[in-house]
Amino acid sequence: MGEDLFWALRGGTCSSFGVVLSWDLNLVDVPQTVAIFNVMRTLEQNATQAILPFQTVARNLPYEVDVRVRISTILSNASTRPDNKTVQLTFTSVYLGPADELYTIIQTNLPEIGLLRSDVQDVTWIQALMIGSFFPLFATNYTPEDFLDRTFLADIPTKAKSDFVREPISEQGINGLWDKLLEVDPGDTTVIFTPYGGVLDEYPESAIPFPNRNGTLYMIYMRILWVGNTTQKLEWIRELYEYLRPYVSSNPRRAYYNYDDLDLGSNNGRGPINYVNASRWGRAYFNNNFMRLVWVKTMVDPHNFFRHELTIPPFSLAMLSNT
């Protein structure tokens, strides 16, 4: 297929270039047992003091450690608010090694989490995916064969947005985030901090189309359930996105393509695609890699047969038109 098309397919939206019939994947070894933990902390349990160092420390942990935090609004009798709402942080980790080592790593680098040795357990890799991954999907009575059931998970409608953080958010900024989350009902929203760093720092942004490598502290995923008063919920998540503007990447403000966000812009339904408009959302997802993707698209699919609202457009003089 050629080096350029192969580069584009790995992170540059396969749907822009054709139909992918198969992939060859290189598997990696994992230990027979891995270590996991899931610990929850609320604002009343010093969650703020735990998240502040997490922003810079988590990306620099050993490569074998994956640790993330899921943030949500819950009801708690310990809350000091009249409505009993508070913010809960769930710190989740999978480590390619024994539980004793993971406990030592977290206690040494992120003692603010307050991890106990009893919080960490040794499991198999498949058990880690079932009960200890970032979104535990199965109860303890399920078996690995349940992964084969593609109808197991409910299709829950959501509106999602994303951001990339390159400088740590201040305590004032974090407290403002808590205030925004407390505006919605418990269970309606989830915000996730996913640290980067590790092996991602070893490759330049141009290595594949996905550019968010060197310099990224973590990605923010934010979502609201798309049920009930959807107009009000859309306004809220847009307000949250605007609130985060001073604290996240800029020029361009970056986004993760797999969380399609049509608020950033989209292609027109018919006719030539305006390049200026396309580059606004294109650079958000792909930064400087967007132009190379346009070039590959022009070589592979110059008539834009494979097209939807967020496909890479081919280059043409018509793209430069403002109409």
243 is catalytic: no
Whole-number Cα distances in Å, 94 to 97, 103, 239 = 9, 11, 33
Place of tokens 């309606």: 188
Q: Alpha-carbon distance 161 to 220, whole Å?
A: 8
The distance from CA 225 to its chain's CA centroid, rounded to whole angstroms, is 17
Which pairs from 15-22 meet CB under 8 Å and 24+ separation? 15/306, 15/308, 15/311, 16/293, 16/297, 16/301, 16/306, 16/311, 16/312, 17/296, 17/297, 17/300, 17/301, 17/306, 17/312, 18/300, 18/301, 18/306
Spell 65-82 as b/e; 16+ CB within 10 A means b.
bbbbbbbbbeebeebeee
Question: Given 63, 259, 275, 285, which residue is catalytic?
Answer: 259
Q: Which amino acids are annotated catalytic?
A: 259
